């Protein structure tokens, strides 16, 4: 019933664009590492009014089967600020349709009256004891995209088997039901409640549990600049700083308000570094603010930059920030824990493609460290299991600047990470130390962990499959490579097939993940490298890290060794020229 998307299909038909019609209509959206995500527009593999209605009908059907009290407990719906005029598609409109499907079936819906950070949805699901929730967002993707992120009653993103079962249910009821198109139901139904004030107040109150130096925060002369990347973050980061006793951070005026075109950045991903942080760094220099915090458009991830003594800016990688957060959260725990607290009950987690720095800290300090598959959905579910077993989780992260400080939200959260960064910088300032100096000290104490992550673009799925199949049959049928150029490979783990040469039974400890490609190589020189496909974008990503012992402190040598190994990895395993891969633009 959306004239704009209807028009798109009619025009393709009239112009004889049969291949594009097939691409749009002959496959369905599937759940990746962050739910359903695709371009907005017409077609069953795109995000639009119809595919959102169909997805919600499938979820209704599945939840009705799983929960006898579904209609008592209700469902949470949140949304970001994305939109596209050409297909008359906005996150808010898609959220209203999501709510309509459920309200028409007499399900109570907690529908936020305005845009919220993604972490507010999992937080609300737990606080309101709802059975599930949906966030309409494409996070930091390009402006053409949107997405549909599903959270289970435990407050974590859904994992298998729920995702597979929901897809089955969607396919069983693709025709919109009576009432599913009625987006005005959110304004008229008595079953709709607005959880905004309650959730925002509770969230800010819970945030104080991880605030350890309120007095310092109130007195500091340090100034902070915050950019919300044209997304949802501004109001919420302001409130979070207030909750910690800080003066509000200085907002970047051009990027403070929502803008679905993200008009001041070439891509709305703060991970891209200095090139996209230009406006915030210039403002910080003008205001003499030494630290910049940047939340991505749905405020679930955080980038941090700090001005160094020579006037240059250091933009920290996700792995470097994790080293700082890991040190900080553990130090704060140690200072504040009760006399009989057992360090063996304490946990930190990371995804398997992230830095092993937490493992090094854990080994030395005596707490536990665990790894999960890539994607915060795996971290959230595992953290919930550990909490249910009486464990204490201080911190978890993924290298793509996703951080979970504390356990109020079982997902990555850029709002809490921003204010924890500010407190850490304030504390260190009192010790005459910068974040960068502390990072070096952490590496000198626990061993240098030098990593590099990047990607190639590949818009041709058969090419991607061919690259990975070649690695599985490198030295003959079912024989993985033993060398990469001059570098000797000790172990290979292939999570796609469930193989791991380092295990006695040759089976991977991490669950098999057939839907995506991922192979990890452990080299004799202490480097670990992973090649994998992205769950949300047409990318082949590579992750490589040198893990050195504390006594190996020659940083330059380690960096050179890592660079040479990455070059060998690209040349021998990815072969970009031969495979037509597009290099990430520097």
Region 401-419 average pLDDT = 98
Residue 31: predicted pLDDT: 83
The answer to whether 405 touches 199, Cβ cutoff 8 Å, is no
Region 1-25 average pLDDT = 96
Q: Which residues contact 86 (CB under 8 A, 6 or more apart)?
A: 4, 41
Same domain, 434 and 460: no
Q: Lowest-confidence range among 294-303, 341-350, 550-559? A: 550-559
The percentage of residues in the chain with a pLDDT greater than 70, rounded to a whole number, is: 100
pLDDT per position as a tens digit, 133-145: 999 999 999 999 9
pLDDT per position as a tens digit, 354-383: 999 999 999 999 999 999 999 999 999 999
Same domain, 313 and 403: yes
Region 268-292 average pLDDT = 96
Residue 534: predicted pLDDT: 87
Same domain, 386 and 502: no
pLDDT per position as a tens digit, 185-197: 999 999 999 999 9
- Residue 57 belongs to a domain with what CATH number? 3.40.120.10
pLDDT per position as a tens digit, 244-275: 999 999 999 999 999 999 999 999 999 999 99
Q: How confident is the model at residue 514 (pLDDT cuts 50, 70, 90)?
A: confident
Residue 553: predicted pLDDT: 75
Residue 167: predicted pLDDT: 93
Residue 585: predicted pLDDT: 63
Residue 32: predicted pLDDT: 78
Region 288-313 average pLDDT = 98
pLDDT per position as a tens digit, 21-51: 999 999 999 887 778 999 999 999 999 999 9
Which residues are paired to 404 by β-bridges? 396
Same domain, 414 and 455: no
Maximum CA pair distance of the chain?
Answer: 75
Same domain, 74 and 223: no
Is residue 139 part of the annotated active site? The answer reads: yes
- Is pLDDT at 586 greater than 50 in this prediction? no
Same domain, 386 and 257: yes
Domain boundary among 408, 427, 446: 446
* Pairing, β 145-152 against β 36-39: antiparallel
Same domain, 31 and 113: yes
Predicted TM-score of the model (pTM): 0.94
pLDDT per position as a tens digit, 95-145: 999 999 999 999 999 999 999 999 999 999 999 999 999 999 999 999 999
Q: For residue 310, how many other CB atoms are within 10 A of its CB?
A: 5
Same domain, 159 and 206: no
Same domain, 467 and 550: yes
DSSP designation for 182: -
Domain boundary among 177, 193, 209: 193
- Angle, vertex CA 339, rays to CA 334 and CA 344, nearest 5: 60
Catalytic choice (87, 90, 91, 139) = 139
Residue 554: predicted pLDDT: 87
Please, is 343 exposed, middle or buried when counting C-beta atoms within 10 Å of its C-beta (0-12, 13-18, 19+)?
Answer: middle
- Angle, vertex CA 424, rays to CA 423 and CA 427, nearest 5: 85
Same domain, 397 and 442: yes
Q: How many domains are there within the chain?
A: 3
- Is pLDDT at 171 greater than 60 in this prediction? yes
Region 313-317 average pLDDT = 97
Q: Is 233 helix (H, G, I), strand (E, B) or coil?
A: helix
**How big is the chain, counted in residues?**
586
Q: Which residues contact 380 (CB under 8 A, 6 or more apart)?
A: 122, 154, 155, 156, 157, 410, 411
- Residue 501 belongs to a domain with what CATH number? 3.30.310.50
DSSP designation for 400: T
Task: Name the token pair of 142.
Answer: 């390009």
Which residues are paired to 227 by β-bridges? 294
Domain boundary among 193, 217, 245: 193
- Domain span at residue 93? 3-193
Same domain, 410 and 490: no
Same domain, 167 and 205: no
Question: Which parts of 430-517 are beta strand (E)?
Answer: 449-457, 483-484, 487-494, 499-500
Region 238-249 average pLDDT = 98
**Which of 477, 437, 422, 375 has its CA nearest to residue 32?**
375
The percentage of residues in the chain with a pLDDT greater than 90, rounded to a whole number, is: 94
């Amino acid at each position: 019933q959306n004239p704009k998307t209807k028009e798109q299909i009619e025009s393709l038909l009239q112009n004889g664009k049969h291949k594009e019609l097939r691409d749009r209509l002959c496959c369905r959206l599937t759940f990746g590492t962050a739910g359903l995500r695709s371009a907005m527009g017409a077609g069953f593999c795109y995000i639009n009014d119809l595919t959102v209605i169909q997805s919600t009908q499938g979820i209704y059907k599945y939840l009705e089967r799983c929960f006898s009290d579904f209609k008592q407990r209700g469902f949470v719906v949140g949304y970001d600020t994305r939109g596209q005029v050409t297909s008359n598609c906005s996150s808010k409109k898609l959220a209203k349709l999501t709510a309509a499907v459920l309200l028409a079936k007499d399900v109570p819906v907690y529908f936020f009256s305005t845009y919220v950070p993604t972490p507010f949805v999992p937080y609300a699901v737990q606080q309101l004891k709802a059975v599930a929730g949906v966030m309409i967002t494409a996070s930091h993707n390009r402006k053409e995209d949107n997405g549909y992120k599903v959270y289970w009653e435990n407050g974590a993103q859904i994992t298998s088997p729920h995702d597979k079962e929901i897809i089955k249910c969607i396919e069983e009821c693709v025709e919109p039901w009576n009432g599913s198109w009625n987006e005005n139901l959110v304004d008229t139904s008595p079953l709709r409640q607005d959880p905004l004030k309650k959730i925002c107040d509770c969230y800010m109150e819970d945030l104080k549990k991880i605030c350890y130096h309120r007095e310092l925060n109130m007195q500091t002369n340090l100034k902070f600049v915050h950019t919300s990347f044209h997304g949802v973050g501004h109001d919420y980061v302001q409130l979070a700083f207030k909750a910690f006793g800080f003066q509000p951070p200085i907002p970047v005026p051009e990027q403070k308000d929502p803008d679905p075109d993200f008009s001041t950045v070439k891509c709305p991903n703060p991970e891209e570094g200095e090139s996209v942080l230009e406006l915030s760094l210039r403002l910080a220099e003008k205001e003499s603010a030494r630290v910049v915090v940047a939340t991505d458009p749905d405020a679930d991830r955080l980038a941090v930059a700090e001005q160094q003594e020579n006037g240059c800016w250091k933009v920290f990688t996700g792995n470097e920030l994790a080293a700082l957060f890991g040190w900080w959260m553990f130090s704060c725990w140690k200072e504040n824990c009760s006399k009989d607290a057992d360090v063996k009950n304490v946990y930190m987690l990371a995804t398997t493609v992230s830095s092993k720095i937490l493992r090094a800290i854990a080994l030395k300090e005596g707490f536990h460290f665990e790894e999960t598959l890539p994607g915060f959905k795996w971290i959230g579910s595992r953290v919930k299991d550990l909490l249910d077993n009486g464990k204490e989780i201080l911190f978890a992260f993924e290298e793509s600047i996703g951080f979970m400080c504390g356990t109020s939200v079982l997902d990555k959260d850029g709002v809490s990470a921003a204010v924890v960064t500010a407190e850490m910088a304030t504390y260190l300032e009192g010790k005459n130390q910068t974040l960068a100096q502390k990072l070096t000290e952490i590496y000198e104490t626990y061993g240098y962990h030098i990593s590099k992550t990047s990607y190639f673009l590949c818009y041709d799925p058969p090419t991607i499959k061919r690259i990975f199949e070649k690695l599985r049959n490198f030295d003959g049928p079912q024989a993985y490579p033993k060398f990469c150029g001059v570098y000797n490979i000790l172990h290979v783990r292939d999570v796609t097939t469930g193989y791991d040469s380092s295990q006695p039974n040759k089976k991977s400890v991490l669950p098999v993940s057939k839907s995506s490609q991922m192979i990890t190589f452990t080299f004799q020189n202490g480097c670990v490298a992973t090649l994998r496909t992205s769950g949300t974008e047409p990318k082949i990503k590579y992750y490589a890290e040198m893990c050195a012992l504390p006594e190996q402190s020659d940083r330059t040598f380690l960096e050179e060794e890592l660079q040479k190994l990455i070059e060998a990895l690209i040349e021998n395993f990815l072969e970009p020229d031969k495979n037509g891969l597009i290099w990430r633009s520097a």
